[in-house]
Amino acid sequence: MPSLRDLRDRIVSVKSTKKITSAMKMVAAAKLKKAQDQAEASQPYAQAMAGMLARVAGGITPGSGPKLLAGTGSDKRHLLVVVSSDRGLCGGFNGNLLRFVLKEIARLEAEGKTVKIVCAGRKARDLLKRTLASQIIDSFTGITGQKFTNYEDAEKVAQLVLSEFDSEKFDVCTLMYNEFHSVLTQRPKSQQLIPFAADISNDNEAEEASEGHKSPYDFEPEEAIILGQLLPKNIGVQIFGALLDSSAGEQAARMTAMDSATRNAGDKINDLSLQYNRARQAHITKELIEIISGAEAV
């Protein structure tokens, strides 16, 4: 049975931990508000751009147009851009994403395809390099979980992706990240960047265009020229949106995890205090019995 001193030290230690987790919860809550506002502000632009590109692409003959739209004609080589956090202590935020990524890698490799990885976030790099170090071609750190996510950071990742594609090192590029739904919900998501495939289920006109219906608009210059200019920019926009979603999701997951840790610490303090009081009472009772027994012996 632990001594009174051991129990007292454990209570002090857990109280210190509770103060830390409580402070981290408040910091994460403050950061979440900014990150959530930034993520929500970027969504209309990203959705409008994807919808516009889908409408323009609707007038292009299948298999023609810019290479970013038509692809290489193969799907044997895949590049996965994985966006995670740089820091931990955010519950299952990174673990759920990495399981999702590993499952997708296993599926692709089972189909006889090769997979390369670009990591945006220290946690993805550290966890994936344990078993897939040879497949990681580059990694970026310090671009997620900041107070203010910059488009320049997303542009660095986009330029690497475009450079690798121009060098014909992959056929299909997929963006994988945690999509922010609410404070309690962040779901792993995959989005194909190359060849271009818009996620525009709420845009009826774009949906019709993506199904092959000819756009009612005339374009000047031609659709292929417009797409050649906008498709590279769209990659940066979509990666930027993923970074914003990931940052908001990270802070939400950390706030939830630290709230749970704070409540667990409080419960642990109550349990230890009860044990301490019982042990102290037993110690006092034992001393009283010894004193009374000694007095009676005299």
Neighbours of 173 (CB within 10 A): 23
194 in the Ramachandran plot: left (φ > 0), alpha (ψ -120 to 50) or beta?
beta
With residues binned 3-state (H G I as helix, E B as strand, rest as coil), the percentages for the chain, rounded to 5, are 65, 10, 25
Helix (H/G/I), strand (E/B), else coil: 2: coil
Enclosing H/E stretch for 260 = helix 223-297
Beta-carbon contacts of 148 under 8 Å, excluding residues fewer than 6 positions away, are: 34, 38
- In whole angstroms, how far apart are CA 160 and each of 60, 170, 187, 289? 27, 12, 26, 78
DSSP state of 167: T
Is 173 considered catalytic here?
no
Please tell me which residue in 7, 60, 69, 90 is annotated as part of the active site.
90
Q: Return the half-sphere exposure (C-beta side, CA atoms, 13 A cut-off) of residue 95.
A: 6
Calpha distance 179→207 (Å, rounded) = 22
Helix H, strand E, coil C: the string for 268-284 is HHHHHHHHHHHHHHHHH
Q: Show which residues are catalytic.
A: 90
